[in-house]
Structure 1
Amino acid sequence: MTKKPNLILLLCLLASTWTQAQTKLVEKVTKKGSELVIPYEKHVLSNGLTLVIHEDHSDPIAHVDVTYHVGSAREEIGKSGFAHFFEHMMFQGSDHVGDEEHFKIVSESGGDLNGTTNRDRTNYFETLPSNQLETALWLEADRMGFLLDAVNQRKFEVQRSTVKNERGQNYDNRPYGLATEYTAKNLYPYGHPYSWLTIGYVEDLDRVDVNDLKNFFLRWYGPNNAVVTVGGDVNPKEVVKLAEKYFGPIPRGPEVKPTKVPAPVLAQDRYISYEDNIRFPMLRMTFPGVPTFHPDEAALDCLAEILGQGKNSILYKNLIISQKAVQATVSHPTSELSGEFTFVALPYPGQRLDSMETIIRQSLAEFEKRGVSDDDISRFKASYEAGEINGLSSVAGKVSQLAQYQTFTGNPNYITKQMKNYMGVTKADVMRVYNQYIKGKKAVILSVIPKGQNVAAAAPDNYKISQEGYKAPDYGYDGLKYAKAKDNFDRSKRPASGKNPVVKIPPFWTDKFENGIKVIGAKNDEIPTVTLLFTIQGGHRMSALEPSKAGVASLTASLMNEDTENYTAEQMSNELEKLGSSISIASGAESYTVSVQSLVKNLDATLKLLEERMYHPKFAQDDFERLKKQQLEGIANQNTQPTVIASKVYNRLLFGEGNIRAVPQSGTEETVKSITLEDVKNFYKKNFSPTVTNLVIVGDIDQPTIMPKLSFLNKWEKKDVSLPPATITKTIDKTKVYLVDKEKAPQSEIRVGYVAMPFDATGEYYKSNIMNYVLGDAFNSRINLNLREDKGYTYGAYSFFSGTKSVGPFTSGAGVRANVTDSALVEIVKEITNYRDSGITDAELAFTKSSIGQSDALEYETGFQKAGFLNQIIQYNLEADFVDKQNEILKTITKEEINALAKKHLPIEKMNILVVGDKELMKPKLEKLGYELVELDKEGNPVQVQVAPAVEEPRSEAPAGAAAPGSTEKKKKGKKSK
């Protein structure tokens, strides 16, 4: 009897030794003083998986990121888009997680999630309350080790359709959406892994089958090609144990070696072109750059900023200020194998693309003569430092940086070296990289030509892609076998949740200035920054007092970002960038916002510039003429974008003729043309007042310190500002379909909705959002699952209530493939109708309460999140305990209440249905749906339906009061509705 316990003891000791051998602690990095570093532990499991852990108990959340070192650069000619396709398939269930369950489990845990793919890596991530950490690791490990048996042909076909929709929405149906694709395939040699985009080609997606996809997974998705990074309110020892439990048994995959390809070499400038449905032509000039983390990356980034970023750049002066282009930028995006130094110019109609190329080349010559100034270097370094610091404001931001550095450099602490590289850039470095990579070098020069316009390319096409010398790589797909982990526990059991974390609403303080400004603030000491957000009531809504000047609010905001009485726009920009600060003014539907971001150490200097910008706008005539021209061109450009057309016409249908909300915030061509500089000055004088202003302050500063610094706000003169009353002039008697023609559009935009109710925090509006959650708000909502996951019609479908103080529409919609527009519309209407008539299920109600109820942990993490929360309190005059009241409503709301809200607020028989797309393809199908069909133009005006002239018959006498045959009255009676 004594041997058995000893045997058990021996086995336990062996098991303990075996477990400890699974994971090796490679390094532990801690923060010393004020250095910019992300503390972490790095471990490696025996199967090659790298585990990086960052401990941060400032908020009760955890973020899990799994990065696989595979992107489109691991694909082959003819099989493009695999990495991105697999990103979609990884959400379709695994052995122990059902179809669509990944999204559902994370959502009902109060978390959010996503995945992204680029050229060089694919990552999957979740942010959840910290008590759900084990669930996140269980989910990620299951799709790493137990995916392929759950991948079937049906899921493959649905996700193939979804990816096609994504390509249509983000590339084929978007202005300039194919510019990067044309550049890539002409910049890199045939077969180079960067010569196609991550989204891939539709013909390649059509060519492959589910077995090709499975082989791709077996080759690249092993634990030895992955980094698991966990951050937040976690215990590193516990994380290691959980990683060993769930990831440790997964067998090692095939070895993955670094990809090595030569940098592209261009013997001549390669001129290429294509046509697009756009208003402004585009010139895009791309030189080969350097890869990410190359020693010259920082200097080239600085060069790009000097040449074409911000109001002090050379291209801004030569193309924007001179009113030759509506947009001109220079960028230096980098990837693991290469970089691209790119100039982009969008000339105004009437300007030539070859002239754009000439000006760009003249600007380079000007740079050579001008050189690099001390201010150039100061601006670049300060902006980079501020950007890095702000990137660390969230656990997700820190985790993603650790994951990126580990994946591409093998050193999670590379932030210290990266910061040293950027802070060490000199004027000589910038001139050296200019001479090495740009001066005298050849480029791919792409002209994007507007369809139907007589616009010439910068030069005739002179380059054809050649396959000469191409040899397909052997990526080692032969003989791959699927081996599953062998566990000593039941992996099918979902882990139990830990104790719910205590979520504390950020403590805040309030104050008020003598002139009426209401102030609310909160201290946030995680990073040394301060955010100020002014909300000035009015905005576009004020144009209701003078509708003929609609667009003046937007134009006023634009001018306030330009010259002041004591600074040119360039001088102001220079000073702000040297501080690493930003001040921006924007106009919205019902308010103006003034946003300020500053490092604490530079706050005083930033506030002096804020005082200048708010109190002393110059409203210069030349700025006015240039910005008015830009606004008019922007209005003309709206009709090239289906989503913009849909938004504009939908608002007009909702609010009706004569309501300012039916007019775009940018105004119309007619209203903007009528605006004078005096109108702008008067708008500013009348409507910018402290009496309608709220101020939110969040940052590493307390009330006694910040308020004296803001004493200059007391100088702001009080004005009597009366907001126009909110009026709704449009009612819907019955549902109709309104059709706007967007010729040859590969996708259609659908909007279904009506004017519902204004915002409230604890009343019927709040409760209706709870009601809508499973209809169209959650990823697992009925509408999205139907249209995206079941039918493959769309990249995403939705419904929501969007309330303001005065008004709040209900909207459902989607961007769908053109050939299924009618079917998609039927499904949207069906889901709304079924939910309204049959109500919510018990399971859906439980999911809604769990998901919304636990999401509070994610709501108040960053300074921007805290500012948004406080802004809501002060804007709507909410009580301090409104969140507690919301939680109580959520906890106690019943199925019967939800169903009553659905019946009341989903009047599907009295909603507008708008479809924007290819009329020739859609109209015959839409006419069969049984709705009255009304054709509109792109402004929302009825289209005159052409009726064939009546054949002239011999006239006969008609009774008094009757219409003679063929008369006008009779023809009117037979016309279709407009």
Structure 2
Amino acid sequence: MTIAARRLALLGGAAVSLLAAAAHAAPAPAAPPAVQNRAAAAALPALPDVDIPFTKMVLPNGLTLIVHEDHKAPIVAVNIWYHVGSKNEPVGRSGFAHLFEHLMFNGSENFNNDFFKATELLGATDQNGTTNTDRTNYFQNVPTSALDSVLWLESDRMGHLLGAIDQARLDEQRGVVQNEKRQSENQPYGRVWDAITEATYPADHPYGHTVIGSMADLDAASLDDVKGWFRDYYGAANAVIVLAGDITPEEARAKVEHYFGDIPSGPPVTQPQRMIARMEGAQREIMYDRVGQPRLYKVWNVPPAGDAATDYLGLLGQVLSSGRTSRLHKRLVFDDQVATSVFAGTSESEIGSQFVVMVTAKPGQDLGAIERVVDEEMARLLRDGPSAEELERARTVTGAGLVRGLERIGGFGGKSDRLAESQVFLGDPGAWKTSYERLLTATPANLTGAGRDWLTDGSYALEVLPFPDFTTAATGADRSKMPDPGAAPQADFPSFERFTLSNGLKVVLAPRTGVPTVSMNLIVEAGSAADPADKNGVAQLAPAVMTNGTDRLTALQISDQMQLLGASIGAGSAVDYTNVSLNAIESRLEPSLALYADIIQNPAFRAEDFQRAKAQQVSGIQQSNRNPGAIASRVLAANVFGPENPYGRPTSGTEASVQALTPADAEAYHATWFRPDNATLVVVGDTTQAELAPALEKAFRTWRAPSTPLPVKPAAPALPSRSAPRVLIVDRAGPQSSITAGRLAPAFDAATEGTFDVANTALGGAFTSRINMNLREDKHWSYGAGSGIRTTRGERMFLVSTGVQSDKTAESLVEIRKELSDVVGSRPLTEDEIAAVRSNLVLGMAGNWETNAAVAGDLTSMVVYGVPENYYDGYAASVNATTPQKASVAARALVGDGPTTWVVVGDRAAIEPKIRALNLGEVQVVDVEGRPVN
């Protein structure tokens, strides 16, 4: 369960500056760069006219039902929004809406068990519950055959919850939420949202406190408070349910009336309306935090979501910060090179929103000077307005993102989410389309007008409407037993085909209609494992530089073209491969493919582009040296695989190794490995081989393999053998400790992988797994804990990881060791546990392949790691054939005698004595690189 504090996920900052905007003109620097692509922009096809057809009904008890049909897969998204969030909390009860959301997963009167224990048997995917300032929602996708089961569950906790809530459950979830708060605040920039909230809203404003609340208020929440909250806000008339997917409106109404029709409407709920807390003058605050780079925030309070001005301000933010030629990015990141990233945009909420500018500076840079640049560029934009090309880029980037989101029926940003949000906040499931139409027709004057109007000032209005006379059905669903799910539909991996271009480039194509987009991923058979010993990090740096310029295009021109095309191109690397990806609108595939092929074949590796990318990589390394989880993961890998093994050294290299790299090194990496006989192109989306093959031949017609053979990659050193476990402590003060432990496990084997998945899922790979239920639900020492198998070639690493409150570090180590020992000893996995995992893994397969990205990910595994093409044909049978005996064999192979290495990142003074007393193994204190500390 998560907190969605705003649509915009703000990451905190070392310095927070909250200012009203200046509408008057500031001294203007040089005009924006000359338009390079105006003619191309004018010739581009229009963005598609998209829609989400729906049927809306209101039941007699006030429950609003919205139905959207989408029969592409035998699944249904069930998305329930309650119109209650942190803005409804009384004084002294901050964080209560989120705390209650957690309690909703602990069981109801007729299913008195963890909600996930039921849904994992139903094959639920895309499942969660979230709370923000204005609403609480619960959602999941399930196979069509399991719809009755999940509706029974959801209606049971809407109408039959109070009898299942007791003091023990309240105390348990209170501890979980408090650990979630500690975990958030323990991250870099983790305290920023608290500071922004307190500074930009009066204490008595509905948004005057954070969603997660204060520790004192969480401690003060009583059982009576919980039950009163449920009675006040969780009635049927304060809820919207959206069913999207393989269902008709008629079927949906019959089912929802059956399960929800007898639930009382609840009392009338008075909602705050438009309350924009306009600020006057300049407020300033300085915060000190454990971060690697200074960061500047500037915030203005603006109209709520759905307001025309807010939509135009969102586009204004794109002009300021999206793309390399945007006003702020070009000044601060590209030209002056004083910052590594910029952001500007709207953080939308129901009764008032915020416009936020965020700049992450390079270490040592003056935030005051950066703020002056921000003020200058904003004043110039508000005075002169955006150019036609700037607006078109902003329009395309925003519109293409919305189109891509419509691929999914559920989850964050899916079709059911848009319908529910529009109904709850704007009273119309189709209201989102008004904002989309504004996007398509916005003019430069619209953006400038909104920017000039919403700098300082604001208003508040309250409307009181009569509450309808609702009635309750005399009878309802049978509450004595949850309906059994029907027969599960067969989940088949999407069909795909292979062909080879005339230049030898292998292509894997999975045609998928439904959303007019095409995704491509060029996989080059070389990654950080191919880094020479003295050039660690070049495999990551080279592809980053590739997207910064070609022989005919500069970085700024590439950025312009991507935005005009609505395409996204990225590049990166892993241990075993390097990839360059493209996501394109189908109607603009040919020009997008031309740009993509140019980047792959003709990167320029200019010195200035190389230096920018290198600085970004070094900054990322510096940031990881301050992140507890990243530190623990890096130190663990080096000790399990060995520091010189490709899987044991960081793919990004070290600060020293990256600083020593030159443009020639990156160019040599590209020349050596980027050749068609060493690559495979994975394509998923709205195209066919007949359409795609000629386009690829045209785009890659000049790309030919050299006559020289491929070089032999460096041989990996032998894996270390450890006869006794060891514990490594990294000293980092804070309220939490990060624990990671691992050991070598057998290599991937298609014949046994299903059984391994069952064993790991039951032990630590699911919400209801043993490790998570122990540390989070039973002990509430952690927000989440689990285990996994890291994908590699050859022997892999099995690991356990969690973040725990600092004063329970040693105790958590004891519990983890106990769970690992018990599963191969006194308490092997039971048939009930295995049956639950079997259902979860098999029934969830259909939902796992809903998106193109998911399909492309599995195809990539086939290319890189040798997963057989027919692997998923027999996966369900392999999982279903897992018995307790087979699971025990798999658990023994994974867990063995326990981790060979434990890594704990935490406050050494507080945790070291108790850890040493556990006798887990040799204890050694190391630095963030894993080097011994005296």
TM-score (normalised: structure 1) = 0.86
Partner of residue 518, structure 1? 506
Equivalences for residues 790-801 of structure 1 within 5 A: 790-801=778-789
**Secondary structure class of the residue paired with 1:332:** strand
State which of 654, 665, 680 in structure 2 corresponds to 1:668: 654
For residues 595 and 582 of structure 2, the distance between their equivalents in structure 1, rounded to whole angstroms, comes to 10
Q: Is the 8 A contact 1:66 1:229 kept in 2?
A: yes
Q: Alpha-carbon deviation of 1:91?
A: 0.2
State which of 218, 222, 227 in structure 2 corresponds to 1:205: 218
Q: Is the 8 A contact 1:547 1:660 kept in 2?
A: no
The structure-2 alpha-carbon separation of the partners of 1:892 and 1:629, relative to structure 1 and needing over 3 Å to count, comes to: closer
Per-residue deviation, residues 746-805 of structure 1 (Å, max 9, x unmatched) = 111111111213333x23444322221210112111111111111101111101112222
For residues 423 and 434 of structure 1, the distance between their equivalents in structure 2, rounded to whole angstroms, comes to 19
Q: Alpha-carbon deviation of 1:350?
A: 2.3
The structure-2 alpha-carbon separation of the partners of 1:442 and 1:346, relative to structure 1 and needing over 3 Å to count, comes to: farther
Partner of residue 737, structure 1? 727
Equivalences for residues 741-820 of structure 1 within 5 A: 741-743=731-733, 745-760=734-749, 762-820=750-808
Q: Is the 8 A contact 2:518 2:589 kept in 1?
A: yes
Q: Is the 8 A contact 1:75 1:83 kept in 2?
A: yes
Equivalences for residues 871-890 of structure 1 within 5 A: 871-890=860-879
**Secondary structure class of the residue paired with 1:660:** coil
**Secondary structure class of the residue paired with 2:272:** coil
For residues 386 and 909 of structure 1, the distance between their equivalents in structure 2, rounded to whole angstroms, comes to 48
**Does 2:927 correspond to 1:940?**
no
Partner of residue 363, structure 1? 377
**Does 2:351 correspond to 1:351?**
no
Q: Alpha-carbon deviation of 1:279?
A: 2.1
Q: Is the 8 A contact 1:694 1:875 kept in 2?
A: no
**Equivalent AA in structure 1 for residue 828 of structure 2:** G
Partner of residue 974, structure 1? none
Partner of residue 30, structure 2? none
For residues 868 and 925 of structure 2, the distance between their equivalents in structure 1, rounded to whole angstroms, comes to 47
Partner of residue 388, structure 1? 402
State which of 618, 621, 626 in structure 1 corresponds to 2:607: 621
Partner of residue 62, structure 2? 48
**Equivalent AA in structure 2 for residue 577 of structure 1:** Q
The structure-2 alpha-carbon separation of the partners of 1:318 and 1:248, relative to structure 1 and needing over 3 Å to count, comes to: same
Equivalences for residues 242-281 of structure 1 within 5 A: 242-260=255-273, 262-281=275-294
**Secondary structure class of the residue paired with 2:683:** strand
**Secondary structure class of the residue paired with 2:661:** coil
For residues 755 and 682 of structure 2, the distance between their equivalents in structure 1, rounded to whole angstroms, comes to 27
Equivalences for residues 402-421 of structure 1 within 5 A: 402-421=419-438
For residues 502 and 903 of structure 1, the distance between their equivalents in structure 2, rounded to whole angstroms, comes to 31
State which of 449, 454, 460 in structure 2 corresponds to 1:437: 454
For residues 893 and 298 of structure 2, the distance between their equivalents in structure 1, rounded to whole angstroms, comes to 56
For residues 515 and 552 of structure 2, the distance between their equivalents in structure 1, rounded to whole angstroms, comes to 32
State which of 145, 163, 176 in structure 2 corresponds to 1:162: 176
Partner of residue 713, structure 1? 700
Partner of residue 151, structure 2? 137
Q: Alpha-carbon deviation of 1:634?
A: 2.7
Q: Is the 8 A contact 2:737 2:906 kept in 1?
A: yes
Q: Is the 8 A contact 1:583 1:597 kept in 2?
A: yes
Q: Is the 8 A contact 2:274 2:304 kept in 1?
A: no
Q: Is the 8 A contact 2:52 2:415 kept in 1?
A: yes
For residues 133 and 739 of structure 1, the distance between their equivalents in structure 2, rounded to whole angstroms, comes to 48
For residues 883 and 395 of structure 2, the distance between their equivalents in structure 1, rounded to whole angstroms, comes to 56
Q: Is the 8 A contact 1:692 1:721 kept in 2?
A: no
**Does 2:76 correspond to 1:87?**
no
Partner of residue 196, structure 1? 209
The structure number with the bigger radius of gyration is 1
**Does 2:888 correspond to 1:899?**
yes
Equivalences for residues 300-319 of structure 1 within 5 A: 300-319=313-332
**Equivalent AA in structure 1 for residue 416 of structure 2:** V
Partner of residue 28, structure 1? none
**Secondary structure class of the residue paired with 1:395:** coil
Q: Alpha-carbon deviation of 1:47?
A: 0.9
Q: Is the 8 A contact 1:521 1:870 kept in 2?
A: no
For residues 88 and 771 of structure 1, the distance between their equivalents in structure 2, rounded to whole angstroms, comes to 27
Q: Is the 8 A contact 1:520 1:874 kept in 2?
A: no
Percent identity for Structure 1 against Structure 2: 34
Partner of residue 965, structure 1? none
Unaligned 5+ runs, structure 1: 1-32, 444-469, 476-482, 945-978
For residues 808 and 153 of structure 1, the distance between their equivalents in structure 2, rounded to whole angstroms, comes to 43
Q: Alpha-carbon deviation of 1:521?
A: 0.9
**Equivalent AA in structure 1 for residue 567 of structure 2:** S
**Does 2:839 correspond to 1:846?**
no
Q: Alpha-carbon deviation of 1:348?
A: 2.0
Q: Is the 8 A contact 1:552 1:675 kept in 2?
A: yes
Q: Alpha-carbon deviation of 1:714?
A: 4.4
State which of 332, 357, 364 in structure 1 corresponds to 2:346: 332
Q: Is the 8 A contact 2:775 2:784 kept in 1?
A: yes
Q: Alpha-carbon deviation of 1:656?
A: 1.6
Q: Is the 8 A contact 1:516 1:691 kept in 2?
A: yes
Q: Alpha-carbon deviation of 1:224?
A: 0.4
Q: Alpha-carbon deviation of 1:876?
A: 4.1
Per-residue deviation, residues 527-559 of structure 1 (Å, max 9, x unmatched) = 11111111112121111xx22211111211211
**Secondary structure class of the residue paired with 2:308:** coil
**Equivalent AA in structure 2 for residue 581 of structure 1:** A
Q: Is the 8 A contact 2:203 2:209 kept in 1?
A: no
The structure-2 alpha-carbon separation of the partners of 1:35 and 1:369, relative to structure 1 and needing over 3 Å to count, comes to: closer
Per-residue deviation, residues 203-230 of structure 1 (Å, max 9, x unmatched) = 2111221211221221111110100111
The structure-2 alpha-carbon separation of the partners of 1:263 and 1:531, relative to structure 1 and needing over 3 Å to count, comes to: same
Partner of residue 562, structure 2? 576
**Equivalent AA in structure 2 for residue 768 of structure 1:** F
Q: Alpha-carbon deviation of 1:169?
A: 1.4
State which of 519, 541, 551 in structure 2 corresponds to 1:531: 519
Partner of residue 911, structure 2? 922
For residues 906 and 350 of structure 1, the distance between their equivalents in structure 2, rounded to whole angstroms, comes to 46
Moved more, 871-880 or 35-44: 871-880
Moved more, 870-879 or 321-330: 870-879
Q: Is the 8 A contact 1:759 1:766 kept in 2?
A: no
Per-residue deviation, residues 613-652 of structure 1 (Å, max 9, x unmatched) = 1111111111222222232233223222111111221111
Moved more, 802-811 or 174-183: 802-811
Q: Alpha-carbon deviation of 1:370?
A: 5.3
**Equivalent AA in structure 2 for residue 809 of structure 1:** M
Q: How many residues align?
A: 869
**Does 2:310 correspond to 1:297?**
yes
For residues 356 and 142 of structure 2, the distance between their equivalents in structure 1, rounded to whole angstroms, comes to 38
Q: Alpha-carbon deviation of 1:912?
A: 0.8
**Secondary structure class of the residue paired with 1:548:** coil
**Equivalent AA in structure 2 for residue 418 of structure 1:** S
State which of 93, 97, 106 in structure 1 corresponds to 2:119: 106
Partner of residue 377, structure 1? 391
Moved more, 600-609 or 562-571: 562-571
For residues 492 and 345 of structure 2, the distance between their equivalents in structure 1, rounded to whole angstroms, comes to 42
Q: Alpha-carbon deviation of 1:177?
A: 1.2
**Secondary structure class of the residue paired with 2:844:** helix
For residues 362 and 792 of structure 1, the distance between their equivalents in structure 2, rounded to whole angstroms, comes to 49
For residues 677 and 89 of structure 1, the distance between their equivalents in structure 2, rounded to whole angstroms, comes to 55
State which of 532, 539, 549 in structure 1 corresponds to 2:535: 549
Q: Alpha-carbon deviation of 1:865?
A: 2.2
Per-residue deviation, residues 880-910 of structure 1 (Å, max 9, x unmatched) = 4322222222222322121122223312345
Partner of residue 195, structure 2? 182
Q: Alpha-carbon deviation of 1:369?
A: 5.9
Q: Alpha-carbon deviation of 1:729?
A: 3.0
For residues 875 and 227 of structure 2, the distance between their equivalents in structure 1, rounded to whole angstroms, comes to 46
**Does 2:680 correspond to 1:694?**
yes
State which of 842, 845, 859 in structure 2 corresponds to 1:870: 859
Per-residue deviation, residues 595-623 of structure 1 (Å, max 9, x unmatched) = 11111110011011112111111111112
Partner of residue 596, structure 2? 610
For residues 592 and 781 of structure 1, the distance between their equivalents in structure 2, rounded to whole angstroms, comes to 34
Q: Is the 8 A contact 2:320 2:344 kept in 1?
A: yes
Moved more, 905-914 or 201-210: 905-914
Q: Alpha-carbon deviation of 1:55?
A: 1.5
Per-residue deviation, residues 105-161 of structure 1 (Å, max 9, x unmatched) = 111111132101111111001111110000111011011111111111111111111
